[in-house]
Structure 1
Amino acid sequence: MSGNELSGEITISTVKMKSLRYLVLSDNSLTGGVPGDLCPSPSSLQTLYLSGNRLSGEVLSGLLNCTSLRSLDLSGNGFTGVIPSGAGELRNLTDLVLHNNSITGSLPSEIGNLTNLETLSLFHNDLTGSIPPEIGRLQRLVVFFLYENQMSGIIPRELTNCSSLEEVDFFGNHFSGEIPIMIGDLRNLAVLQLRQNDLVGQIPASLGNCTNSLEILDLTSNRFSGEIPGELIQSRNLTRLRLGHNLLSGGVPSELGELEMVEFLDLSSNNLSGEIPPELCNCKKLHHLLLDGNMLTGTLPTWLGTLNSLGELNLSLNKLHGEISPAIGSCSGLLKFSLQGNYLSGRIPPEIGNLTALNVLNLQSNNLSGEIPSTIRGCNKLFELRLSENSLTGRIPPELGQMTELQVMLDLSRNQLSGEIPSSLGDLVKLERLNLSFNQLHGRIPPSLGRLTSIHILNLSYNLLEGSSLVHSPTFPSSPSSATADSAVGLSLPATRRRALPGSSSPTPPPPES
């Protein structure tokens, strides 16, 4: 009777049948609590699915007599209170699914009595306390989900006794200490997600023992230190390796190039140094390569152009130098491309226009020179373009006005661009932020910019522009969420050197001499 728009409370008259074995009422609009005498004695009820309703009351209230239950799903309701110690008497349970409720308190040690348990799903509640060591008695446990709670303490070494475990997800808690060194004894482990906790220490090399099983390893946003263990490459079925936002040091292991199945490699925001190993060119299935926020050196690898499956490439905030290879134009499926904050030089290759699927292009804060290639119009799906803080020269290509999907940002500030502002920029009607400040632009502000009806920030300051402010244009936006009055446009007039930005109309001093 699932998904039948049933409403009201569960009444005894509908379920008081001693021979009832399966009761499935999921995805309805049932309210109230679980009847206290749902399971008459003796009871044959083995499966009870009440997920996706509007039920409330103390969790497991009325169910502790249902000792024949094997599969219990109360997820997606409004149950409150703590998991009672009496839950340990439901010894026939194979599946206990209580996620997406408002359950509080700690996980009772009696949970270790449920030795037939295969699935324990408690995510997205308000659980606190630590994982009881009795959890190690659940040797049939396959799935263990605690993510998005408020639990703390260490991950008990007894967890490694749960030899059948395949999926462990503790994301978004406050677990501390180190990962048990014997975690590699879980030879069936396919998914280990521990991101956003307070874990420390080194990544256990024993994870390499999960040779044929491990597919997802996510340790993002902890405080792991030391080097990335090369033993991880023994897990040849890894598809997602996420170690970002930790304190890892050393180099990017060349052995990672042997992970031919890897699709997501995130080593961002660590203390990694050295060059990007060329062996990564063997990872032909890579879709996300995130190495940003490290101290990587060397030139930008030309072999990146051979990774035809790349959808996201982020090498920002490193110490890379050299030029952007034209080969990058071969990554035709690239959606996000960021090289911000390096020491890259030379021109932006015209082949950048071959990236027709690109949504985000961020090359700001480098030493790029030359003109912005007109071929960039080929990136007609861009909604964010950042080329600021370089040494780009020449005119702003009028072809930018053809990139009508630009929405989040067009930032060409702090370059050496000259000439007039192309009137075609007025066609970017979705654009919210336009920054052309600190260049050598001259001439009048094109009236067509008055068509930028979605604009929130328009900064044209510190140029050689002339003419009146756009705020007098009848088409210029005047709602509070857009720029208004004299603060709508940051103008640089030679006589005043006045800059006005949204939210402030007071003059500011000229920029410091370079």
Structure 2
Amino acid sequence: MCYFKQPAKLAVLIVLPLLLLCYGIGNIHCYAVHENSEDFHSLLEFKRGITSDPKGALSNWNPDTHFCQWNGVNCSSTRPWRVTELNLTGQNLAGQISPSLGNLTSLDTLHLESNLLNGVIPDALTNCSNLAYLDLSYNNLTGVIPPKIGFLTKLAGINLIHNNLTGGIPAALGNITTLLVLALSENQLNGRIPHEIWQMSNIVQLYLDQNNLSGGIPQTLSNISSLQELSLASNMLGNTLPSNIGDALPNLTLLYLGSNHFDGHIPASLGNPSGLEQIDLSSNYFTGQIPSSFGKLLQLNYLNLGENKLEARDNEGWEFFHALANCSFLNELYLSNNQLHGAIPNSIANLSTNLTHLQMGGNNLSGIVPPSIKKLNGLIRLALDFNNLTGTIEDWIGKLTNLQHLNLRSNNFIGTIPPSISDLTQLIFLSLANNKLTGFVPPSLGP
């Protein structure tokens, strides 16, 4: 679950007058005057590299029209009319990115995302020394990230999400002190995350998820107070998390580390960033108790700790569950496939009334489901499958009227399926298999 928030555009649209060699006198054919021939020819060369233009985005890219009025092109407000922005987002353009774009040395914004471009990112793009925002996401680009990308010392944002880029992350990226957004998700990048990346003094969003990165996070993590969103999910990262991770990232709002090989205890310091809203540590090898410090995260709305080896065997181990009652915005809680033992605490009734997803399947839960669970009547999805729960379900099931997905399979529930289950009019999935229920199936559950 991951997403990329694009910053506001860094260039302002400037409408320029069309410069004509003549003014349409008689039947004389008029051509635009392209005072800046270098930018003009560089754009034409880019057009030649495009093999398919189904939307006609480049239809007016011809000498009859001044290049500053070509679709997707913005220029400076004074002569010699330098190109400052090229925006051809979502035009389904196919072909390759011409190295000629490297001649647009006044370019500060390049938007070529959501096309069908292939080939490599030209090294020549690193000649665009004024480039502040580069977005080539959602294409079919291959090869490596240009090693000289560190020459773009004015970059504020770079988005290369969803391509087929290979190789490592250039360490030089960490030297761009202006960089606010670095998004390299959904590629085939490998190797370790360069140490320099963890030293970026102004970084706000760092998205490296869905690659083949290895190694881990430095055990002594320096203070990166600017970082708000960190996603490293779906890689091959491992080792333990630095114990000071929550203190080093005090302004963190989103942390996605799921589907990796992290192990050891979850650091208690993760309860310290007061604005932390989303945490995903699922599908790793975390052990020990879940920190009760999560209860300090008053803005927390999403917590996914499923598919780990986390334990709760006594009152101390379940303290985190009581503490989560403080998280009044908690919307989704995933604890499935861990090593939670014993009865579900009665404090389940104190969880946020905003809770829509609660999954605790695949543990070693026993005893009855506290009837007070019916207070969580905003639940859309409830999964308690593959546990050792017993008792009846009639005291609470009919009150959860917003349920769409209910999974109670492979437990020891007894009694009958209560008629009140017919009150669950939103239900689209129900599994009660492998229990000890008796009697008839209510007609409301029939075809």
TM-score by length of 2: 0.82
Whether the 8 Å CA contact 1:157–1:182 is kept in 2: the answer is: no
Cα distance change on mapping 1:16 and 1:210 into 2, 3 Å: farther
Q: Deviation at 1:6? A: 4.6
Distance 1:7 1:108 in 2: 27
Distance 2:437 2:65 in 1: 75
Larger radius of gyration: 1
Cα distance change on mapping 1:322 and 1:231 into 2, 3 Å: same
The superposition leaves residues 349-398 of structure 1 with CA deviations (integer Å, 9 ceiling, x where unpaired) of 33211111100111111111111111111111111111111111222223
The superposition leaves residues 42-67 of structure 1 with CA deviations (integer Å, 9 ceiling, x where unpaired) of 65111111111132332243311100
> Which SS does the other structure have where 1:321 is aligned?
strand
The one-letter amino acid of 2:170's match is: P
> Which SS does the other structure have where 2:63 is aligned?
helix
The one-letter amino acid of 1:131's match is: I
Whether the 8 Å CA contact 2:58–2:71 is kept in 1: the answer is: no
The one-letter amino acid of 2:443's match is: P
Alignment correspondent of 1:276: 318
Cα distance change on mapping 1:95 and 1:8 into 2, 3 Å: closer
The one-letter amino acid of 1:256's match is: F
Alignment correspondent of 2:61: 11
Alignment correspondent of 1:47: 85
Q: Deviation at 1:108? A: 1.6
Whether the 8 Å CA contact 1:123–1:145 is kept in 2: the answer is: yes
Q: Counterparts of 1:429-444 in structure 2 under 5 Å?
A: none
Alignment correspondent of 1:25: 72
Distance 2:211 2:104 in 1: 31
Whether the 8 Å CA contact 1:325–1:349 is kept in 2: the answer is: no
Cα distance change on mapping 1:24 and 1:208 into 2, 3 Å: farther
Whether the 8 Å CA contact 1:139–1:161 is kept in 2: the answer is: no
Are 2:323 and 1:285 equivalent residues in the alignment?
Answer: no
Supply the RMSD in Å over aligned alpha carbons: 2.1
Are 2:375 and 1:330 equivalent residues in the alignment?
Answer: yes
Q: Deviation at 1:87? A: 1.8
Unaligned runs of 5+ in 2: 1-12, 14-54, 74-78
Cα distance change on mapping 1:284 and 1:45 into 2, 3 Å: same
The superposition leaves residues 196-219 of structure 1 with CA deviations (integer Å, 9 ceiling, x where unpaired) of 100011122332125542110000
Unaligned runs of 5+ in 1: 27-40, 401-424, 429-514
Distance 2:140 2:218 in 1: 30
Aligned length: 383
Q: Which has the higher contact order (CA 8 A, sep 6+)?
A: 2
Distance 1:135 1:232 in 2: 27
Are 2:136 and 1:98 equivalent residues in the alignment?
Answer: yes
> Which SS does the other structure have where 1:385 is aligned?
strand
> Which SS does the other structure have where 2:202 is aligned?
coil
Whether the 8 Å CA contact 2:100–2:124 is kept in 1: the answer is: no
Whether the 8 Å CA contact 2:348–2:372 is kept in 1: the answer is: yes
Q: Counterparts of 1:42-121 in structure 2 under 5 Å?
A: 44-121=82-159
Q: Deviation at 1:165? A: 0.6
The one-letter amino acid of 2:295's match is: G
Whether the 8 Å CA contact 1:189–1:210 is kept in 2: the answer is: no
Alignment correspondent of 1:217: 255
> Which SS does the other structure have where 1:81 is aligned?
strand
The superposition leaves residues 98-148 of structure 1 with CA deviations (integer Å, 9 ceiling, x where unpaired) of 101111101121100111100100011110000011111111111111111
Identity of aligned residues (%): 35
Whether the 8 Å CA contact 2:99–2:124 is kept in 1: the answer is: no
TM-score by length of 1: 0.71
The superposition leaves residues 55-103 of structure 1 with CA deviations (integer Å, 9 ceiling, x where unpaired) of 2332243311100001111111122211122222111010011101111
Alignment correspondent of 2:346: 302
> Which SS does the other structure have where 2:86 is aligned?
strand
Whether the 8 Å CA contact 1:217–1:242 is kept in 2: the answer is: yes
Cα distance change on mapping 1:60 and 1:331 into 2, 3 Å: farther
Distance 2:94 2:132 in 1: 23
Distance 1:83 1:344 in 2: 56
Alignment correspondent of 1:485: none
